[in-house]
């Protein structure tokens, strides 16, 4: 960790809190006349307090790259908005010891009617660059955005593909020169090559001694980029420390919490949509069969997918794979190999459970991908990043003594359990064990 006490403090946050007043359920916002009348009568409509962020304190020093992780609604975005001064805190304070460049959305202030060139200047000015700065960096920006953007520099941005718009937006922001850079979920856009370029650029920014705040749901990216991480939970700072430790806590929370993670309804997907994955749940077991919170080399891992049919599904198979951080598929499990196929009427759901025995993977982060379809014939629903799998370092096993296969294979069994809404107790009885 680079946060030695000798380095310069760049950000100091103390007891930060942001309260929103929200109307209770079932009420609607008042009109001007209603509000004036209510004020005159001295009767304000009832409002409930909601603390999006509360009692958050931390310090960040020069050259640190800090990842901000947490589940949806944990307060990440609010904290970023507070840090980038978009919204003002209700209590506490933030001291910033340098110019802040925030990148909460790529291409902020892009206007569809303006050309690419005009938008570069517009966007740069909004992000706090002077015209001269943009001019000197213009070629660099266009170079970073790529040749296709360079070709259409004088075309209105409304005629750009969304990818081109994103590229141009990130290119401007990446060439900002703030002492503190705040980046939110930018890597969710663009193709793999561009994502890599973005990551590289951020590493470069961090390497040059500037401070970076990075928020992402992509735990692999956070671990790759950051040395330190802050874990937010329910608006409060749950943990602050080395990224590996915080990421492990985060994943642990994902396992134990019911509402945490696993939901696939908002995932980026491809396919015909005739059927959809609703959720993915993980449960690791120790070799002796007892459930355990983390995955270790040699664990047994149960992965359960819920599938919902939008149209009639006949003979669709479910594939699940584990890929490394370079998106190489290491382990593929297909229900078709066991002759298990999903047959569902519209609206019906089923659970597909893969039990992977003796998972031999070295500690690290892996991504999980899932696919529903008929191989080589039809892709119904594919999610390349359905979740992350962290194989934790087993404190009781010596690293050198790990048993690892030369090739990645894994024995697994497949179960298809129709009807996911059934109570837990019942499903055990109806589940058909695979051979």
Partner 1 sequence: MTETKPLILVRPPQGLAALNLHELTQYWELVRTFAQREIMLRYRQTALGVIWVVLQPLLTAGIASFVFGKVAGFSQGDPAFFLRAFSGQIAWTIFGLSIFKISTCLVGNSAMLSKVFFPRLTLPVASTLAAQMDTLVAFAAFVLLMPFFGVAPTLAILTIPLWFAALATMALGLGMMMAALMVSYRDVQFILPVWLNSLMVFSPVQWPLAKMAGKLGALGTLYFLVNPAAILIEGFRWSLMGGALGIAPWQVAYAAVMSVVILLLGLLIFRMQERRFADVI
Is residue 128 close enough to count as binding partner 1 by CB under 8 A?
yes
- β-strands 228-233, 65-70: how paired? parallel
CB of 147 to partner 1, least distance (A): 26
Strands 100-103 and 349-357: unpaired
Which of these segments, 118-126, 185-193, 195-203, 351-359, binds partner 1 (CB under 8 A)? 118-126
What strand order describes the sheet that includes 236-242? 100-103, 180-184, 211-215, 65-70, 228-233, 236-242
Least gap, CB of 153 to partner 1 (angstroms): 16
Q: Please calculate the CA angle 189-191-196 and round it to the nearest 5 degrees.
A: 90
Does 125 help bind partner 1 (rule: CB under 8 A)? yes
Residue 184 or 304 having the CB closest to partner 1: 184
Given a contact cutoff of 8 angstroms between Cβ atoms, the answer to whether 155 and 114 are in contact is no
Beta bridge partners of 344: 313
Binders of partner 1 in range 345-374 (CB under 8 A): none
What is the H or E stretch that residue 151 is in? helix 147-151
Place of tokens 């194989």: 391
C-alpha neighbours within 13 Å on the C-beta side of residue 143:
6
**93 pairs with which residues across the strands?**
14
The residue among 125 and 260 lying less far from partner 1, judged by its C-beta, is 125
- CA 41, 47, 48: angle at the middle one, nearest 5? 155
Among 113, 154, 193, 396, binds partner 1 (CB under 8 A): 113
Q: In whole angstroms, how close is the CB of 243 to partner 1 at the nearest point?
A: 23
* Interaction of residue 227 with partner 1, rule CB under 8 A: no
CA 164 distance to own-chain centroid: 22
Check binding of 109 to partner 1 (CB under 8 A): yes
Angle, nearest 10°, between helix axes 192-207 and 162-174?
A: 10
Which residues from 2-61 bind partner 1, rule CB under 8 A?
5-6, 8-9, 12, 20, 31-32
Q: Which stretch binds partner 1 (CB under 8 A): 82-90, 233-241, 348-356, 408-416?
A: 82-90
Residue whose token pair is 């969710």? 188
Q: Cβ contacts of residue 23 below 8 Å, gap of 6+?
A: 29, 45, 46, 47, 48
Question: Of 112-120, 161-169, 300-308, 375-383, which part binds partner 1 (CB under 8 A)?
Answer: 112-120
First and final CA of the chain: distance in angstroms? 50
| Residue 118 in contact with partner 1, rule: CB under 8 A | yes
Taking the complex as a whole, the smallest distance from the CB of residue 29 to partner 1 amounts, in Å, to: 9
State which residue, 77 or 355, has the beta carbon closest to partner 1. Answer: 77
Q: How far is the CB of 385 from partner 1 (least distance, A)?
A: 24
In this structure, the strands spanning 48-61 and 313-323 are unpaired
Q: Which of residues 85-104 bind partner 1 (CB under 8 A)?
A: 85-100, 102, 104
Helix (H) or strand (E) holding 192: helix 192-207
Judged by CB, which is closer to partner 1: 121, or 408?
Answer: 121
Q: Total number of residues binding partner 1 (CB under 8 A)?
A: 44
Q: What's the closest the beta carbon of residue 229 comes to partner 1, in angstroms? A: 22
Q: Which of 66, 68, 82, 295 binds partner 1 (CB under 8 A)?
A: 82
Binding-site ranges for partner 1 (CB under 8 A): 5-6, 8-9, 12, 20, 31-32, 81-82, 84-100, 102, 104-105, 108-109, 111, 113-114, 118, 121-122, 125-128, 130-131
């Amino acid at each position: 960790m680079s946060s030695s006490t000798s380095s310069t403090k760049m950000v100091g946050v103390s007891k930060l809190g942001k309260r929103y007043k929200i109307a209770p359920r079932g009420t609607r916002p008042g009109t001007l006349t209603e509000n004036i009348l209510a004020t005159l009568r001295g009767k304000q409509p009832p409002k409930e307090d909601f603390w999006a962020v509360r009692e958050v304190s931390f310090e960040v020093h020069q050259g640190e790259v800090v990842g901000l992780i947490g589940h949806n609604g944990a307060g990440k975005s609010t904290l970023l908005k507070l840090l980038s001064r978009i919204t003002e805190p209700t209590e506490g304070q933030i001291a910033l010891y340098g110019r802040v460049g925030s990148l909460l959305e790529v291409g902020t202030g892009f206007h569809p009617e303006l050309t690419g060139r005009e938008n570069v200047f517009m966007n740069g000015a909004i992000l706090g660059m002077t015209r001269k700065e943009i001019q000197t960096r213009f070629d660099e920006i266009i170079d970073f955005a790529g040749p296709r953007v360079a070709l259409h520099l004088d075309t209105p941005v409304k005629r750009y593909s969304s990818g081109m718009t994103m590229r141009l937006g990130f290119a401007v922001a990446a060439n900002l020169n703030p002492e503190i850079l705040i980046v939110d979920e930018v890597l969710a856009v663009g193709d793999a090559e561009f994502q890599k370029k973005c990551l590289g650029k951020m590493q470069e920014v961090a390497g040059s001694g500037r401070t970076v705040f990075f928020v992402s749901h992509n735990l692999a990216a956070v671990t790759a980029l950051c040395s330190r991480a802050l874990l937010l939970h329910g608006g409060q700072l749950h943990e602050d420390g080395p990224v590996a430790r915080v990421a492990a806590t985060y994943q642990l929370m994902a396992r134990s919490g019911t509402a945490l993670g696993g939901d696939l309804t908002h995932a980026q997907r491809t396919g015909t949509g005739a059927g959809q994955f609703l959720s993915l749940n993980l449960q690791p077991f120790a070799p002796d069969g007892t459930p355990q919170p983390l995955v270790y080399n040699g664990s047994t891992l149960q992965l359960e997918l819920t599938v919902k049919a939008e149209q009639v599904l006949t003979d669709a198979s479910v594939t699940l794979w584990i890929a490394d951080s370079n998106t190489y598929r290491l382990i593929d499990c297909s229900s078709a190999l066991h002759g298990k196929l999903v047959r569902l009427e519209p609206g019906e759901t089923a659970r597909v459970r893969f039990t992977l025995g003796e998972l031999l993977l070295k500690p690290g982060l892996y991504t999980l991908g899932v696919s529903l379809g008929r191989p080589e014939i039809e892709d119904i629903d594919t999610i390349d990043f359905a979740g992350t799998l962290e194989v934790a370092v087993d404190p009781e096993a010596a690293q050198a003594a790990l048993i690892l296969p030369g090739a990645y294979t894994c024995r697994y069994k497949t179960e298809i359990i129709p009807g996911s809404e059934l109570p837990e107790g019942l499903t055990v009885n109806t589940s058909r064990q695979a051979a």
